[in-house]
């Protein structure tokens, strides 16, 4: 049963009062927030890699500058979220060490390759579209620093989704080959985008507690359903076919029924056996090691400043 402190804490949560960094919180609340916020930050940083592949291959200068702006936003979201995680008493170095050692997760979606320019459209439309559906509720989550970070992130994310859909629209209104490229990208990104929302509610180990603490305001399956309902009409407008033969509008429920997710593929990617897991982690470790000289320089400079002040 709860002791008095936990009872007061839960009462604040239930009343929708934000928990701030200096407030008392159960150790498990702190731990699950560090877990989720740091993995969210890792996702933003690793998420730059698939798109980075197309910066030098963008078809026009306009598309190149938009893609660069998006990738720069993702970096900013990552740093914003690392800072939110640090308010819970963890160091940036520890969080990065956990990513580089494979101990910490990042979103499965970033372990897939980006094979054509249409993938830039599908990622903006489907991946950022899913991220928005997941992140809007997080603006109202119980932990103050995380909720506030999400408000800024969501504003920039909607630009990411719109530019992605714009790429898909251009391709679908282009030559038959361009439309086929868009269809091929939809075929490859549709199911992995639905996996972003996590395992089914029945198999979700964290959902019950995260919901009680108002970290998770909607379940994995509820947000996944919202993504399907929102996206199918957009695919129809593009003249594209969603790669799910079981997809069917259900008049009773006013939702789309859709096929079974390949949970074996999902679990495989989480275990590190996705198409690009090793390549993504290698790129992050290399970037970190290549930046060591710069970090060392910053520390040496700071220590010299300290010594000067002490004189
Ligand atoms: N990829 C990798 N791991 C996943 C996952 C996915 N798509 N979905 C679930 N998992 C992991 C969970 O992290 C958990 O493992 P852990 O306990 O070791 O952390 C396990 O699978 C069980 O899943 P649960 O549903 O029980 O876990 P959560 O309650 O944490 O729910 C979540 C998972 C919905 C991803 C939740 O953590 C969340 O909302 N995270 C914040 C948002 C986020 O990370 N979004 C994905 C990144 S997309 C992005 O930010 C980039 C964008 O700008 C393009």
Instruction: Give the nearest ligand 1 atom to 74 CA.
Output: 53
Q: ipTM strictly over 0.85?
A: yes
Average pLDDT (147-174) is 96
- Res 174 pLDDT > 60: yes
Average pLDDT (43-61) is 97
Which sign does the torsion angle of CA 207, 284, 289, 52 carry? negative
- Res 190 pLDDT > 60: yes
- Per-residue pLDDT, 311: 86
Coarse DSSP helix, strand, coil percentages of the chain, rounded to the nearest 5 percent: 70, 5, 30
Mutate which of 107, 198, 224 for ligand 1 pocket (most atoms within 8 A of beta carbon)? 198
Relative to beta strand 255-257, strand 248-250 is antiparallel
Share of the chain above pLDDT 70, in %: 99
Cα of 195 vs centre of ligand 1, distance in Å, is 10
Name every protein residue with a CB atom under 6 angstroms from any ligand 1 atom.
35-36, 39-40, 43-44, 47, 74, 77, 105, 107-108, 127-128, 131, 134, 157, 195-199, 204-207, 210, 216, 220, 270
Nearest to 81 by CA among 135, 121, 122: 135
Instruction: Give the nearest ligand 1 atom to 77 CA.
Output: 53
- Per-residue pLDDT, 2: 66
Q: pTM (2 decimals)?
A: 0.96
Cα of 72 vs centre of ligand 1, distance in Å, is 22
Average pLDDT (88-93) is 97
Instruction: Give the nearest ligand 1 atom to 127 CA.
Output: 54
Cα of 60 vs centre of ligand 1, distance in Å, is 34
81 Cβ contact partners less than 8 Å away, ≥ 6 residues apart = 37, 38, 40, 41, 44, 146, 149, 153
Nearest to 167 by CA among 267, 67, 288: 67
12 Cβ contact partners less than 8 Å away, ≥ 6 residues apart = 19
99 Cβ contact partners less than 8 Å away, ≥ 6 residues apart = 38, 42, 45, 46, 106, 281, 284
Q: Which residue is closest in CA terms to ligand 1's atom 12?
A: 198
- Res 1 pLDDT > 60: no
| Phi, psi dihedrals of residue 13, rounded to the nearest 5° | -60, -50
Mutate which of 123, 149, 160, 206 for ligand 1 pocket (most atoms within 8 A of beta carbon)? 206
| 251-270: pLDDT as tens digits | 999 999 999 999 999 999 99
- Res 138 pLDDT > 70: yes
How high is the mean pLDDT of the chain? Answer: 97
Cα of 175 vs centre of ligand 1, distance in Å, is 38
Average pLDDT (292-310) is 95
Mutate which of 33, 35, 36 for ligand 1 pocket (most atoms within 8 A of beta carbon)? 36
Cα of 97 vs centre of ligand 1, distance in Å, is 19
Nearest to 131 by CA among 79, 197, 71, 225: 197
- Res 125 pLDDT > 90: yes
Cα of 36 vs centre of ligand 1, distance in Å, is 7
- Per-residue pLDDT, 239: 98
Q: Which residue is closest in CA terms to ligand 1's atom 17?
A: 206
- Res 292 pLDDT > 90: yes
- Per-residue pLDDT, 49: 98
- Per-residue pLDDT, 243: 98
Cα of 106 vs centre of ligand 1, distance in Å, is 7
Share of the chain above pLDDT 90, in %: 97
Instruction: Give the nearest ligand 1 atom to 157 CA.
Output: 53
């Amino acid at each position: 049963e709860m002791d008095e402190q936990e009872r007061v804490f839960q009462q604040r949560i239930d009343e929708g009062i934000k928990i701030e960094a200096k407030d008392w919180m159960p150790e498990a609340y702190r731990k699950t927030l560090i877990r989720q916020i740091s993995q969210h930050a890792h996702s933003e940083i690793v998420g730059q890699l698939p798109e980075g592949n197309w910066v030098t291959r963008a078809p026009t200068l306009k598309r190149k500058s938009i893609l660069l702006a998006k990738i720069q936003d993702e970096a900013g979201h990552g740093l914003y979220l690392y800072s939110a995680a640090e308010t819970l008493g963890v160091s940036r170095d520890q969080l990065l060490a956990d990513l580089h050692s494979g101990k910490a997760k990042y979103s499965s979606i970033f372990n897939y390759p980006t094979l054509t320019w249409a993938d830039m459209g599908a990622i903006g439309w489907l991946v950022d579209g899913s991220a928005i559906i997941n992140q809007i509720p997080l603006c109202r989550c119980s932990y103050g620093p995380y909720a506030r970070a999400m408000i800024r992130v969501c504003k920039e994310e909607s630009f990411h989704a719109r530019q992605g859909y714009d790429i898909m629209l251009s391709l679908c209104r282009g030559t038959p080959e361009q439309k086929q490229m868009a269809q091929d990208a939809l075929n490859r990104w549709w199911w992995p985008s639905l996996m972003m929302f996590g395992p089914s509610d029945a198999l979700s180990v964290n959902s019950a507690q995260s919901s009680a603490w108002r970290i998770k305001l909607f379940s994995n399956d509820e947000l996944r359903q919202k993504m399907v309902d929102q996206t199918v009409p957009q695919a129809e407008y593009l003249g594209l076919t969603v790669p799910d033969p079981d997809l069917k509008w259900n008049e009773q429920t006013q939702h789309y029924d859709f096929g079974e997710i390949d949970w074996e593929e999902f679990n495989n990617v989480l275990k590190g056996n996705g198409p690009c897991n090793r390549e993504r982690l290698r790129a992050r470790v290399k970037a970190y090691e290549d930046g060591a000289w710069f970090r060392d320089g910053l520390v040496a400079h700071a220590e010299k400043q300290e010594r000067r002040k002490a004189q």
